[in-house]
Amino acid sequence: MPDLKEIQEEIIAEFQMFDDWMQRYEYLIDLGKSLPLIAEEHKLDENIIKGCQSRVWLHAEGEKAAVHFRADSDAILTKGLIALLIRVFDGQPAEAISGANLYFLDEIGLKEHLSPTRANGLLSMVKQMKFYALALQAN
């Protein structure tokens, strides 16, 4: 399985094909539409991360060697970004996740979506993913 850095490089290469923001956003929207939804049983209030703008559901499971994430959002652009974040994190070892540097968002020009002022729940979701990985490491 490719590591965190390799997956991020892959995504950066894919986004280089796009000429402008429209194409990047259209790709995000497509990704959002294709993201496997979180199972209804996991779409619980306790799994909800409330942003002021959009809401995110996150379910994590697995073990130290490989952590698995499923997530969803009520906004499609947020969901597209979740798809990218899950592609990077899903199945990775806990240690790699908790210490991850998500530089690819900056490279593909979507860093602003992870800003606290966006209040879309994404930044909290990443924190939650890292926190989960950290908890697994301590076990």
Partner 1 sequence: MIKESVQAFPISKVRQDFPILHQEVYGKPLVYFDNAASSQKPKVVIDAISDYYNQINSNIHRGVHFLSQQATDAYEAARETIRKHLNAEKSHEIIYTKGTTDGINLVASSLGQGLIKSGDEILVSQLEHHSNIVPWQMLCERSGAVLKVIPINERGELIQAEFEKLLSAKTKLLAVNHISNAMGTINPIKEMIQKAHEYGAWVLIDGAQSVPHMAVDVQDLDADFYTFSGHKLFGPTGVGVLYGKEKLLEMMPPYQGGGEMIAEVSFEKTTYAGLPHKFEAGTPNIAGGIVLAKAIDYVNQIGLDAIGAYENELLHYGTQRLKSQFPDLRIIGEAENKASVISFLLGDIHPYDVGVILDKLGVAVRTGHHCAQPIMQHYGINGTIRASFAFYNTKSEIDQMIDALDRAHNMLA
Task: Tell me if 134 contacts partner 1 by CB under 8 A.
Answer: no
User: Binding residue for partner 1 (CB under 8 A) from 3, 6, 14, 26?
Assistant: 26
Strand ranges of the sheet holding 48-50, from the earlier edge strand across to the other edge:
48-50, 55-63, 66-73
User: Binding residue for partner 1 (CB under 8 A) from 4, 60, 75, 136?
Assistant: 75
Rounded to an integer, what distance in angstroms lies between the CA atom of residue 135 and that of residue 87?
21
Rounded to an integer, what distance in angstroms lies between the CA atom of residue 82 and that of residue 105?
12
Any residues with CB less than 8 A from the CB of 87 and at least 6 apart, and which?
7, 11
Task: Tell me if 74 contacts partner 1 by CB under 8 A.
Answer: yes
Options 13, 39, 44, 52, the catalytic residue: 52
Tokens representing 136? 């697994």
User: Binding residue for partner 1 (CB under 8 A) from 25, 59, 96, 134?
Assistant: 25
Cβ at position 91, least distance to partner 1 in Å:
28
Total site size for partner 1, rule CB under 8 A:
16
Task: Tell me if 18 contacts partner 1 by CB under 8 A.
Answer: no
Q: Which of residues 28-57 bind partner 1 (CB under 8 A)?
A: 29, 52-55
Task: Tell me if 103 contacts partner 1 by CB under 8 A.
Answer: no
User: Would you say the C-alpha torsion 30, 32, 36, 39 has a positive or negative sign?
Assistant: negative
Instruction: Name the nearest CA neighbour of 59 among 40, 32, 75, 78.
Output: 40
Q: Which residues are catalytic?
A: 52
Q: Which residues of this chain interact with partner 1, rule CB under 8 A?
A: 21-22, 25-26, 29, 52-55, 74-78, 119-120
